[in-house]
Structure 1
Amino acid sequence: MITYTGLNDGELAILLQQGDRAAFTEIYSRYKYLLYLHAYKRLRNADEAEDIIHDLFAVLWNNRDSFVLKTHLSGYLYTAVRNRIFKFMAHKDIESSYISSFFETAKNTVNITDHLVRENQMAILIEKEIAALPLKMREIFEMSRKQHLSHKEIADQLQLSEQTVSKQVSNALRILKAKLWFLTFLAFFIKP
């Protein structure tokens, strides 16, 4: 019967490649704590260090058929742990960057949404105030601002003088500005 604790790393590696569970158990027992300390020193997180060590040994066992030791077993295992730590940290950085980007995008989306809501509310208020203008003034104002007709074109269509049209548009703007300036201030400059 083989005493695995007395075998050197090279002998254990050969037995591992042949599928010997006891050799794997000996390698695990020999190196798990040292590798864990190495990983913990770098990560400063017990769970993450433990996960890396368990992953390393799971891969070692699952790939035992193709496992070829070209250096010392300890060097191989430390290098494998180091590479897993680098990969883990890179993944963590990418994850952190993605989360930051997500929150920045969400924040900007909220700002855009908030702006659009305020803009729509303002448009509704303006339309409400335009509808409250005296009938003839509203008709002239809408022809000027919505249909983009010149004062002369409006005057010709409504059989009025250009001066009357100009005066009605000016009066409509004055009324709307007086009613909407405070609402504009509230809608665009005060955050909810």
Structure 2
Amino acid sequence: MNDRSHTDKALFRLIAEGDEAAFRELFHAYVPQLEPLVMHLTKTASVTEDIIQETFLRVWLNRDKLPAIENPRSWLLRIIFYQSFTWLRRRSVHHKALDAMARGDEEMRSTTEEAVAYAAMLRLVGEAVQQLPSQAKKIYKLSRENGLRIPEIAAQLELSPNTVKNSLVRSLQAIRRHMEAGGYWLPLIVLWML
């Protein structure tokens, strides 16, 4: 396992330099390990293939960040699980919408109203994020959109973890104030999960 870790770090360094052969080697080393995991979660071969393709596309597109990753296998697994659970969440929402349509117009109207309210709430969150100072916006997006943890953001931006944490807390408070001004009252803990 330790040898694999050293090999993966070496491959990550080569991929960061644009080495396509190293990328292919990493791909062929991990696909046999990742396919069963994703297939177990999604139960669909085509979706499994898409998720693996998307994962390795992210590896290639973010190759400049690869040398800083200490545990390549864990990093790849985190991306795979994030992609898989995102797909499962979308599928669940899709099935709920289909179920609501099957139950009838009255329930559908309620579901539609909830979807409109949720979309409006997300729009307000987006507006609030755009109003954040550039550094705070960058930290917020790395946390929420890229799924990075505080220590990872701190390392990437060369900041202290406390600075990152404080920035996130201030950003969430600013977003909450913006939401309240827009007629939505949300506890800070709910915003932390968005």
Please, what TM-score do these two structures have when normalized by structure 2? 0.48
Please, what TM-score do these two structures have when normalized by structure 1? 0.48
Greater Rg over alpha carbons, structure: 1
